[in-house]
Chains A and B, each alone.
Chain A
């Protein structure tokens, strides 16, 4: 009963926030509303008892995406002052009306589809749960991601690689210059939060085998750590190690592909793990993916090719004592 009150408060707020974030004239505030929307959606997932999705939504959906959109916004530098014509004339009205009708039709179709869902799931839930013990992990979501539907995850990691290649091809990124000298608190924050971020990333990786977690969420945390480093002006060393960076970015896809090839040799099936060793293979793939995803998300925040990193031959920063 009290839960219904919760739902009835949450739902209109989500809808209203979504509407307002689309409609706000000030793009900066629209971005903040978008992030708020993402976090409330994560709360909604918690309410629906879907911790894996809640984790993914909080980490990737609103956390990193929000930072990325913000960084893009800052770079826009208010170039666009071009006035779009306001609703003038019949054509404009017709356009808006037809878009409105299409959207309503889509919405109605979605509602009908949701209402027509069977009360009990009749999909593959039972089949996938039945074979869970053979999959190598005990978290059903991880089993789906990395065993039953491993190809999809391989392609997802590949898409991330494509994204960073695309961004790097387009422009050079600039490291934000943060002045740490009169912001001592920021340094303290970094000192506390960065280690926890890295630890939490590893924790997500490890726990993904038997509880909500996994490489994507851990990668988002690692990406967040990289973003923090950049914001604090401490990332120059990291970003200049071009070859190491590229190796890290490619690692996920590379390892995933190698595992595909090896399993092909061992069992005759692409990504068909030899029985009993599924867990080990999954851990190998996820570890590599963690590094790649973290690097990718963090470097996407940079917004382009790191400057000054045309290969490591000119060893400007003397040997890395770190």
Chain B
């Protein structure tokens, strides 16, 4: 059974990687906000399934904290981090 769980975890990880890769390749900044969505909706099942596959007893708590903080982060990003003006996007790091 744990093989099943870990395989699902691998699949989820791959979807996260692909989505992140796509989102960050986009020129506009608005699309990177989608990443904020991604963490919660795909990251949480990843932790759940991975924890179950490894037999980690407290993975549920970790997933709970993940979900809560993904909510906070998502709201923080969308409300406060929107690009004002596309032309002024480039800041020197």
B27-58 to A contact mask, C-beta < 8 Å, 1/0: 00100110110010001001100110010111
Contact count band on A: 35 or more
Q: Which of A68-76, A105-113, A281-289 participates in binding chain B?
A: A68-76
Min CB gap A53→B, angstroms: 10
Instruction: Please state if B13 and A6 are interface contacts (CB–CB under 8 Å).
Output: yes
Instruction: Tally A-B pairs: CB < 8 A.
Output: 167
A254 within 8 A of B: no
Which of these, A25, A47, A196, A212, contacts B54 with CB under 8 Å?
A47
Name B1-27 residues within 8 Å CB distance of A: 3, 6-7, 9-10, 13-14, 16-17, 20, 24
A48-73 to B contact mask, C-beta < 8 Å, 1/0: 01010011001100111011001101
Instruction: Please state if B80 and A176 are interface contacts (CB–CB under 8 Å).
Output: yes
Given contacts A189-B75, A224-B72, contact A49 B65 (CB under 8 A): no
The residue on B at minimum CB distance from A228 is: B72
Q: In the assembled complex, which residues on chain B have CB atoms less than 8 Å from the CB atom of A63? A: 65, 69, 72-73
Instruction: Please state if A32 and B66 are interface contacts (CB–CB under 8 Å).
Output: no
Instruction: Please state if B81 and A28 are interface contacts (CB–CB under 8 Å).
Output: yes
Instruction: Please state if A29 and B80 are interface contacts (CB–CB under 8 Å).
Output: no
A207 within 8 A of B: yes
Name B56-89 residues within 8 Å CB distance of A: 56-59, 61-62, 64-66, 68-69, 71-73, 75-77, 79-81, 83, 88-89
Instruction: Please state if B17 and A29 are interface contacts (CB–CB under 8 Å).
Output: no
Q: In the assembled complex, which residues on chain A have CB atoms less than 8 Å from the CB atom of B20? A: 13, 17, 36
Kindly name the residue among A5, A80, A207 whose own CB sees the greatest number of chain B CB atoms within 10 A.
A5
CB-CB nearest 9 A-B residue pairs? A63-B69, A224-B72, A27-B91, A2-B6, A51-B58, A67-B76, A212-B58, A29-B32, A6-B10
